[in-house]
């Protein structure tokens, strides 16, 4: 197996599209082929070798792609990712993990908007794999998610998990408005009480689930301690579309955060 490391040479262009990068294809390429691989920017195509120092190791247990440097201007990292691991050592831009179906992506920083969501005219977002963001994420995370896991160690923006069909999303910090609009199934887990629309979600009740023991051993969400897990409430929705998704929230303050406003 190969580990490919892209170490940033200098400051990136203001906008760079990385959606053409496929780890499952790159592990078959030579260092020279990777250096010649082109990405689109606003000023036109740019070769990987002009932006990054490329190194390849073969003594790893699984395919891995490492981005060493701040990738904030880079969109589409991990688009359609399906095997192995992508490790981003700092912030990333929009559409990280869009339409991924397997493998794992780890962001040791913040992520932009549309985390794990569809790109363009696609109607399915993340359908498998695991996305871990150690910092915060922007708006529209988990839109049209069908399977997989997203774990966010900080805050998340507006419209989390809209039209979610299945999967699990955990958020340790605060969450913006319009949570789980159109949610059909799946599970949202919050470390802090979110603002929920009482017309769309049932009254919270104490959570009793066989999965709590498994969750307490989840290394992707260290904030889900046994004490937190055994003090959660659960409500269900989106009731306006007969949805049966579950929202796990801290019992403390849950009632006071429910609102009739259109959130």
The answer as to whether 15 is a domain residue is no
In tens digits, the chain (263 residues) has pLDDT values of: 789 999 999 888 889 999 999 999 999 999 999 999 999 999 899 999 999 999 999 888 899 999 999 999 999 999 999 999 999 999 999 999 999 999 999 999 999 999 999 998 899 999 999 999 999 999 999 999 999 999 999 999 999 999 999 999 999 999 999 999 999 999 999 999 999 999 999 999 999 877 777 776 776 888 888 888 888 999 999 999 999 999 999 987 544 344 444 44
The answer as to whether 259 is a domain residue is no
- CA pair distance 103, 83, nearest whole angstrom: 4
Q: Which domain holds residue 140?
A: 64-250
Angle at 91 between CA 169 and CA 164, to 5 degrees: 20
Q: How many domains does the chain have?
A: 1
Is residue 165 within 8 A of residue 186, CB to CB? The reply is yes
The answer as to whether 224 is a domain residue is yes
- CA pair distance 135, 72, nearest whole angstrom: 13
The answer as to whether 156 is a domain residue is yes
Provide the strand spans (E) within the chain: 3-8, 16-17, 38-41, 44-47, 52-57, 64-68, 74-75, 85-88, 101-107, 127-133, 147-152, 168-171, 187-190, 196-197, 205-206, 232-237, 245-250, 258-259
What is the distance of C-alpha 97 from the center of its chain?
A: 6
Q: Is 78 left (phi over 0), alpha (psi -120 to 50) or beta?
A: left
Is residue 232 within 8 A of residue 250, CB to CB? The reply is yes
The answer as to whether 29 is a domain residue is no
For tokens 């429910």, the residue is: 258
The answer as to whether 222 is a domain residue is yes
What is the distance of C-alpha 200 from the center of its chain?
A: 24
- CA pair distance 234, 114, nearest whole angstrom: 26
Q: 126-138 burial, b for 16+ CB within 10 Å, e for fewer?
A: bbebbbbbbbbbb
Contacts of 251 (CB under 8 A, 6+ apart): 204, 206, 231, 232, 233
The three-state secondary structure class of 254 is helix
Can you give 190-220 as a three-state secondary structure string? ECCCCCEECCCECCCEECCCCCHHHHCCCCC
- CA pair distance 258, 263, nearest whole angstrom: 10
The answer as to whether 46 is a domain residue is no
pTM: 0.92
The answer as to whether 149 is a domain residue is yes
């Amino acid at each position: 197996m190969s580990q490919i490391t892209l170490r940033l040479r200098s400051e990136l262009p203001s906008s760079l599209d990385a959606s053409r990068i496929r780890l499952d294809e790159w592990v078959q390429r030579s260092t020279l082929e990777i250096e010649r691989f082109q990405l689109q920017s606003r000023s036109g195509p740019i070769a990987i070798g002009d932006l990054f120092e490329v190194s390849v190791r073969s003594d790893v247990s699984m395919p891995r792609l490492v981005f060493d440097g701040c990738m904030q201007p880079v969109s589409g990292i991990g688009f359609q990712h399906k095997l192995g691991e992508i490790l981003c050592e700092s912030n990333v831009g929009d559409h990280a993990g869009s339409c991924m179906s397997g493998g794992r992506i780890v962001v040791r920083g913040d992520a932009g908007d549309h985390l794990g969501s569809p790109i363009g005219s696609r109607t399915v977002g993340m359908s498998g794999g695991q996305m871990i963001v150690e910092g915060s994420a922007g708006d529209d995370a988990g839109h049209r998610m069908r399977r997989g896991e997203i774990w966010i160690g900080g805050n998340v923006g507006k419209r989390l998990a809209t039209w979610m069909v299945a999967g699990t999303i955990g958020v340790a910090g605060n969450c913006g408005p319009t949570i789980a609009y159109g949610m059909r199934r799946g599970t949202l887990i919050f470390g802090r009480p979110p603002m929920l629309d009482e017309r769309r979600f049932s009254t919270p009740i104490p959570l009793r689930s066989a999965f709590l023991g498994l969750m307490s051993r989840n290394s992707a969400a260290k904030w889900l301690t046994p004490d937190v897990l055994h003090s959660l409430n659960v409500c269900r929705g989106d009731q306006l579309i007969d949805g049966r998704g579950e929202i796990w929230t801290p019992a403390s303050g849950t009632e006071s955060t429910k609102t009739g406003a259109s959130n």
